[in-house]
A = this chain, B = another copy of it.
Amino acid sequence: MTGRLAVVGLGPGSPAQTTPEAAAALAAASDLFGYGPYLDRLKPAPGQRRHASDNREELARARAALETAAAGRSVAMVSGGDPGVFAMAAAVCEAIEAGPAAWREIELDITPGITAMLAVAARAGAPLGHDFCALSLSDNLKPWEAVETRLRAAAGAGFVLAFYNPISRARPWQLGRAFEILREVLPASTPVIFGRAVGRPDECMIVTTLAEAHAGQADMATCVIVGSPETRLVERPGRPPLVYTPRSSGRAAR
């Protein structure tokens, strides 16, 4: 009597950026679980049950979805962006590992999606065109010292950085502190991009420099990209500048 669980990435917001595979997985589900605003993006299908939950209850939501799948239902867990990047897929795996043996027999399908940094990068040019890191600035689930260590290591070694969870009401100072640390390591002219709600009506893109970037330019729905010393800005008449990181680096021939 074991059902199935699809963990589905919607992409950053526009339905045009949701893959056909993801749309099919959602349409086939008897039960949809997810953070309320993500479920609100979907057209209801007849007979489909919705189980909306709060943003902060990831593990409880994963367990509820697995229980429902184990009872024989066809469940979809809805995630914004890509479910594997700071989202629901890890919470589901964690719940399976800690849960009853029967949960390991559930048919589990994870459907990738366009994650926020890719959508933001595409709007700006190609800031992730060479080696880069994705880093959550939240210290809810790791010590802040680990964030500082990773910031220094990655920026010092020449990676471009993409920040997820840059700021929230409960975490107001972390992004500003991250910029302070990076100003010790990177040139003041390093391009910084704030990309908010890309593909949605309230989309907002800001391109600035590390010297001028400040935490007030981000909110919970923002992905922040900080360039490497090689990241370049190309001015264009009547259009926003392009930000890109060259494919070649250092001493190697172009």
Chain A: residues with CB nearer than 8 A to chain B?
Answer: 11, 14-21, 24, 58, 82-86, 89-94, 96-97, 104-105, 108, 110-115, 118-119, 121-123, 125-136, 139-143, 146, 149-150, 153-154, 156-159, 232, 234-239, 242, 244-252, 254
Residues in B with CB closer than 8 Å to A119 are: 112
A126 touches B14 (CB 8 A): no
CB neighbours (8 Å) of A131 from chain B are: 133-136, 150
Q: Which residues of B contact A234 (CB under 8 A)?
A: 93, 96-97, 104
Copies in the complex: 2
A133 to chain B, nearest CB (A): 4
CA of A236 to CA of B104, assembled, Å: 5
**Residues on the B chain within 8 Å of A17, using CB:** 19-21, 112
Choose among B19, B24, B142, B238 the residue that contacts A248 (Cβ–Cβ < 8 A).
Answer: B142
Interface centre among A130, A235, A238 (most CB of B within 10 A): A130
Q: Give bound CA distance, A45 to B105, whole Å.
A: 44
Tell me what chain A mostly uses at the interface: helix, strand, loop, or mixed.
Answer: mixed
Q: Does B133 lie within 8 Å of A85, measured CB to CB? A: no
- In the complex the two chains form, what is the Cα distance from A118 to B90 in whole Å? 13
Complex alpha-carbon distance, A189 and B222, angstroms: 36
C-alpha gap A134/B118 in the complex (Å): 12
A20–B16 touching, CB < 8 Å? yes
Q: Does B123 lie within 8 Å of A110, measured CB to CB?
A: yes
User: With A128-B84, A158-B150 in contact, do A94 and B16 touch (Cβ < 8 Å)?
Assistant: no
Report the Cα distance A85→B234, complex, angstroms.
Answer: 19
Q: Are B90 and A245 in touch, CB under 8 angstroms?
A: yes
Contact status B158-A156, CB under 8 Å: no
The minimal Cβ–Cβ distance linking A252 to chain B, given in whole angstroms, is: 5
With A112-B121, A242-B108: A90-B130 Cβ-Cβ less than 8 Å: yes
